[in-house]
Structure formats: structure tokens, C-alpha cells
């Protein structure tokens, strides 16, 4: 047998090349020379009074016999059930001290020379069914799970994109290629972002990106596909990837927002949302609403039938309460593009009292909903410890305390609620200006919610580089800040987007921030250009 020496001599006798009398634990040669005997070599195992390689004096120990190294008993040889190994155990008395020890030797059985080797007789016991070979979809799912698990709690944790990301692996076995090609792109781009040797602009794998876009085009062209979960999930992932890693187009150029709106709306109000389809839709809502705001159109999902269908789907889902609260917030925020459109109309004609009346009529219920959520859901999260206020170590002079959150879902609900509270109050403020009705409460609420966003930065900064959507909350909080707080906002925006440029070129400065704030609240138009002067001069916001 490999690894078991043929010689049974102790180390001292083997080095001297003399015969060993094997009177272990100390052979005669070692005893005469005053050496510590190594005992049996690797193919022996000593058990002294039940302890390995030890000699103890304890209760119940059999006394040594007068004759040292005398064999007291010899057990017969035994073979294992398959006849592959023979066990030979002998019990010895220690030559010095008390106690006994055993010598166990393992050998293979000898075969007669005249018997030819033959194949073993098959066992009557059925062998276990071998595991099926892992397919390409299984390997891809395993790679995605590895990315998700290995990045938990870091800035590379894709869970920040939304809870639907954990539902993707089980969908990869479907017949649709669009999701598999998109996940390949996700895994590769995420792995590239982990490599310190690659610059950020090289994170997005362009070859796989082209392949995923081709698969998406084919999926969208298939007739009779009213609501394809794989297509929605793929568009959602591509949107998040391009928002995070596409450095040429910038943050305002989410390509798939309009496609997502079309795919979801094509299914109709009462379509049967499965878990992944529902989560992927709501995880994309912010970007879909942004697209509607830029294009100056109402959101398709703001109508009563859609709102009712979404609320019903939310009620039936088994997801966590904090995620349900987030989804209900998105349903209410389908009014955002309409409010922005009304503000734009009002900026063109400040005497349009009909528009003012409609703006107030639509904004007031949303503000009431946001205040109700603040008094119920958010206060409950604070009371349960899911949202806590702790000492601010990074900016103690500016904000003595900061917020800590149980998880990213709780944090997103908190700062998104604050962001939309600011947006809706700003649109209502435009109506008050026309009506010459100065309301100090509006400014007070905007500053209160802005401070919540600032105090969330310490926790969110640990989610860099995937905390992209948080930049929108920081941008909308900027208008309520004093000079020192504005410097903090600009510095924080730079830290959050250290690896990319703000939309679509340039950097976050006072002019670019205020242009985005006014553009997304209806006070500036969106212009398709890369000319940075339109933002510097307050003419419009680049799209």
C-alpha cells in the first residue's frame, strides 16, 4: 500500500540498519542506547488505555505483567465487508510504567497466484443515482449567486438594485435567451468592477452588452407576448447596468425606461403578475417616471385602473411590509410627471389660474399621503429600531447624529419618501407663488426632509459604487441647504460618482445641480444637447 513502509523498525534501528526486536513502546536497542524510541512506524497505531499515543495511570488499568512486552492476547484477523483490508490487533504490556498498548496493523489480503483477477460481482444493493451534469444555465445561476453572496454588506452588493435580483437565478432555466444573456453581462461586469487593475470605463463588457441587446430586440419582436417576465427582468437589469456602468451616456440616459413601460402596459391592467415580474416592475419605477418627466408626458400607470391593479397585486404578494410600503409609494408617485407638466405650463403662463387649481388639486392628496406615511410607517420603523439615530463620526460638526438602517430596503424607503416629499412640496410652492400665498410650512418641510437625506449619507456611502439612485435624493435636497451644507452635498455627490461623470458630461457643481433640481420639478425645460452652457446659464437641463 502506498504510504506504508515495508520495514516495521523504529527510526533509530532503521537509521542503524539493524534489526528491531519491536518490544515497544521502547525497543531493546533504544533502551540500551538511552534513546527515546519512535515506536512503530506509520503503519501502526498505538492505543494506551483508550488514549492515542499516551501512557497513563488511571483507575481500572490492568497491571503490567512480570514479563515485559509479553503478548497477553491476540485477536484473529478480520477482513472488511469488501475483503479489501485485514486488521491485525495485538495487545502488549508496557516495559516501563503501567498500562497496556495495542498494535494495529492494516494489510491487504493475499490472492492465490493461480487465481486470475476478475471483475467484482455486482452488488445487489442499488447504487445511488448519480447527480445529473450541471448545465450552462445552472453554472450561470451559480455564478450569479456567488456574486450576490460574496458582496453582501459591501458597496458591490447588487441587492441595492432591488429584491427581485434574488429571484433571477431560478428563472435562468427558462427557454428565453434574453435573461441568460443579460445575466452573463451582469456577472462579467460585476467581476470586472472587482478587479483593481481595470479602469471604471472598462467594467461594462461591450461584447456581452451587444449580445444582450440583440436578445432583447428579438424578445420584444415576438408576437403574442403580452407580459414576459424574463423580458421585464432583463430590461430592468440592463437599465441598472447602464445607469451604473455606462459612462458615455450618463445618468439621464436610461435607455430601457420607455421599453419597460411599453412591455408592462401592453399586458393590460389585470395581467397576472408573478413575483419576479411584480418586483422587477417596481424596482424600475423610478427610472420609468424619470423618462416621463423628461418627455413631458403623464405616466401610463397613474390612471385609476392601473393604480387599483397594482395595489391589489401588492396586497397579495408575500414580501416584507417595508417593501410593500415602498411599492405603494411608487403607485402614489405616478402623479409626479403630471405635476411637473403643470408647473411647466404655469412657468410659461403664470396667469393660468385653471392650471394652478389643477396643480393644487393633484398635489394636496399626495402630500397628505406622504405625511400619513411619515406618521405611521416611518415612525413605526424608528420605534422598532429598524431606523436608528447614532453619533455621526464622519461629519460631527455639520450633523452631530446620522441614521443607521436595518437593511437597504429600509434605507431606500426612508430617503425616497424624503425625496418625493421635497419634490411635491416644490411643485405646490409654484402654485403658491402664482396665488401670492406664501406658505412658510412648505419651506420648513423641504428643509426637514432634506436633512433626513443628508443624515442618511454616512450609511449610504458604504454602498458605493452601486448607490446610484441615492444621488437623486442628494440633488433634490440641495436647494434647501445653506452654504456649508451645499458644499457637503457637492462633495458627497462627487464621492458617490467618483468613477463616472454626471449627466451626460461635466461634474457636479452648483449650476448643474440646480439645473437638474429645476428640470425635474418643472421649472426648467429639458433640452437634448451636450452643451453645458444651458445649465450654467440656467436655460434648461440637458437630457
Mean pLDDT of 272-285: 84
For 541, the 3-state DSSP assignment is strand
Q: Name which residue leads in pLDDT, 22 or 309.
A: 309
Q: How confident is the model at residue 402 (pLDDT cuts 50, 70, 90)?
A: very high
The answer to pTM > 0.75 is: no
CA distances from 173 to 149, 183, 427, 462 (A): 20, 12, 47, 34
**Would you place residue 72 in the very low, low, confident or very high pLDDT band (cuts 50, 70, 90)?**
very low
Residue 338 clears pLDDT 90, i.e. is over it: yes
- pLDDT, one tens digit per residue, over 518-527 is 999 999 999 8
CA distance linking residue 235 with residue 229, whole number of Å: 10
Nearest-angstrom CA–CA distance, 471 and 527:
21
Model pLDDT, residue 252: 39
Pairing, β 51-52 against β 44-48 = antiparallel
166: cell is 434574488
**Residue for grid cell 432583447:** 216
Report the pLDDT averaged over residues 20-49. Answer: 69
Residues 6+ apart with CB under 8 A from 385: 406
pLDDT, mean of residues 457-481 = 88
What cell numbers appear for 182 in the block?
Answer: 443579460
At residue 243, what are phi and psi to the nearest 5 degrees?
-65, -35
- pLDDT (0 to 100) of residue 185: 92
If DSSP codes are grouped into helix, strand and coil, which group holds residue 536?
helix
pLDDT tens for 178-193 read 899 999 999 998 888 8
For the segment 3-24, the average pLDDT, to the nearest whole number, is: 72
Which segments of 20-116 are extended strands (E)? 44-48, 51-52, 71-74, 78-79, 86-93, 100-107
Q: Point out the least confidently predicted range of 52-56, 79-83, 144-148, 221-225.
A: 52-56
- The DSSP 8-state label assigned to residue 455 in this structure reads H
Distance set, CA 443 to CA 65, 77, 383, 424, 516 (Å): 99, 93, 27, 12, 19
Does the pLDDT value for residue 249 go beyond 70? no
Q: Is the pLDDT higher at 147 or at 259?
A: 147
Rounded Cα distance, 237 and 436, in Å = 46
B/e letters for 80-103, b = 16+ CB within 10 Å, e = fewer, are eeeeeeeeebebbbbbeebbbbbb
Q: How many other C-beta atoms can be found within 10 angstroms of the C-beta atom of residue 419?
A: 24
Q: What are phi and psi of 527, to 5 degrees?
A: -125, 130
Distance spanning both ends of the chain, measured CA to CA: 75
Is the pLDDT at 253 greater than 50, yes or no? no
Tell which residue, 212, 292, 279, 290, has the closest CA to residue 245. 212
pLDDT at 85: 47
Alpha helical stretches, state H, 333-407: 336-348, 353-373, 379-383
Q: Give CA–CA dist 251/452, Å, rounded.
A: 23
Q: Kind of pairing, strands 526-527 and 401-405?
A: unpaired
- Please tell me the number of Cα atoms within 13 Å of 263 on its side-chain side: 29
Q: Say which residues have a Cβ less than 8 Å from residue 212's Cβ, sequence separation at least 6.
A: 178, 181, 182, 184, 185, 234, 238
Asked if residue 25 has a cis previous peptide bond (ω within 30° of 0), the answer is yes
Could you check whether the bond before residue 476 is cis, i.e. omega within 30 degrees of 0?
A: no
pLDDT of residue 83: 45
C-alpha grid cell for residue 499?
A: 468613477
Alpha-carbon distances, residue 195 vs 27, 156, 208, 414, 460 (angstroms):
60, 12, 18, 32, 22
What average pLDDT does the segment 59-67 reach?
39
Confidence at residue 89, expressed as pLDDT on a 0 to 100 scale: 47
The Cα 89–Cα 31 span in angstroms is 24
Amino acid at each position: 500500500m502506498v504510504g506504508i513502509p515495508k520495514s516495521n523498525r523504529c527510526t533509530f534501528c532503521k537509521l542503524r540498519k539493524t534489526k528491531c526486536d519491536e518490544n515497544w513502546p521502547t525497543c531493546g536497542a533504544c533502551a540500551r542506547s538511552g534513546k527515546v524510541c519512535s515506536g512503530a512506524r506509520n503503519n501502526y497505531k498505538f492505543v494506551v488505555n483508550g488514549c492515542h499515543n499516551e501512557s497513563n495511570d488511571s483507575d481500572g488499568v490492568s497491571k503490567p505483567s512480570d514479563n515485559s512486552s509479553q503478548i497477553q492476547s491476540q485477536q484473529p484477523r478480520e477482513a472488511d465487508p469488501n475483503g479489501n483490508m485485514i486488521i491485525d490487533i495485538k495487545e502488549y504490556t508496557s516495559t516501563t510504567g503501567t498500562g497496556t498498548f495495542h498494535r494495529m496493523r492494516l494489510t491487504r489480503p493475499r490472492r492465490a497466484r493461480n487465481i486470475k483477477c476478475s471483475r467484482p460481482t455486482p452488488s445487489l444493493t442499488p447504487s445511488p443515482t448519480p447527480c445529473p451534469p450541471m448545465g450552462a444555465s445552472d453554472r450561470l445561476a451559480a455564478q450569479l449567486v456567488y456574486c450576490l453572496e460574496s458582496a453582501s454588506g459591501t458597496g458591490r452588493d447588487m441587492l441595492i438594485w432591488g429584491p427581485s435580483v434574488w429571484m433571477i437565478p431560478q428563472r435562468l432555466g427558462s427557454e428565453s435567451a434574453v435573461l441568460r444573456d443579460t445575466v452573463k453581462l451582469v456577472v462579467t461586469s460585476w467581476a470586472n468592477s472587482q478587479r483593481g487593475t481595470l479602469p471604471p470605463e472598462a467594467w461594462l463588457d461591450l461584447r456581452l452588452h451587444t449580445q444582450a441587446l440583440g436578445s432583447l430586440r428579438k424578445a420584444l419582436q415576438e408576437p403574442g407576448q403580452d407580459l414576459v417576465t424574463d423580458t421585464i427582468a432583463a430590461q430592468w437589469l440592463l437599465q441598472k447596468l447602464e445607469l451604473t456602468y455606462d459612462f458615455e451616456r450618463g445618468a439621464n440616459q436610461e435607455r430601457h425606461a420607455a421599453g419597460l413601460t411599453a412591455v408592462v402596459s401592453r399586458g393590460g391592467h389585470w395581467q397576472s403578475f408573478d413575483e419576479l415580474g411584480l418586483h422587477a416592475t417596481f424596482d424600475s419605477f423610478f427610472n420609468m417616471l424619470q423618462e416621463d418627466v423628461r418627455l413631458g408626458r403623464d405616466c401610463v400607470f397613474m390612471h385609476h385602473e392601473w393604480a387599483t391593479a397594482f395595489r391589489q397585486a401588492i396586497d397579495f404578494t408575500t414580501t416584507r411590509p417595508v417593501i410593500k410600503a415602498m411599492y405603494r409609494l411608487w403607485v402614489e408617485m405616478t402623479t409626479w410627471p403630471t405635476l411637473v407638466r403643470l408647473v411647466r405650463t404655469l412657468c410659461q403662463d403664470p396667469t393660468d389660474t385653471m392650471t394652478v387649481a389643477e396643480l393644487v388639486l393633484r398635489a394636496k392628496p399626495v402630500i397628505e399621503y406622504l405625511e400619513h406615511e411619515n406618521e405611521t410607517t416611518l415612525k413605526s420603523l424608528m420605534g422598532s429600531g429598524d431606523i436608528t439615530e447614532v453619533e455621526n463620526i464622519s461629519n460631527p460638526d455639520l450633523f452631530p447624529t446620522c441614521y443607521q438602517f436595518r437593511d437597504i430596503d429600509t434605507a431606500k424607503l426612508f430617503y425616497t419618501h424624503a425625496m418625493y416629499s421635497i419634490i411635491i412640496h416644490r411643485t405646490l410652492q409654484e402654485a403658491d407663488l402664482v396665488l401670492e400665498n406664501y406658505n412658510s410650512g412648505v419651506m420648513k418641510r423641504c428643509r426637514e426632509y432634506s436633512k433626513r437625506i443628508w443624515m442618511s449619507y454616512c450609511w449610504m456611502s458604504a454602498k458605493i459604487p452601486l448607490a446610484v439612485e441615492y444621488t437623486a435624493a442628494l440633488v433634490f435636497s440641495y436647494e434647501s441647504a445653506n452654504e456649508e451644507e451645499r458644499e457637503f452635498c457637492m462633495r458627497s455627490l462627487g464621492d458617490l460618482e467618483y468613477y463616472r461623470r454626471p449627466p451626460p458630461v461635466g461634474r457636479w457643481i452648483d449650476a448643474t445641480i440646480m439645473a437638474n433640481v429645476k428640470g425635474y420639478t418643472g421649472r426648467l425645460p429639458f433640452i437634448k444637447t451636450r452643451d453645458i452652457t444651458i445649465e450654467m446659464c440656467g436655460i434648461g437641463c440637458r437630457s
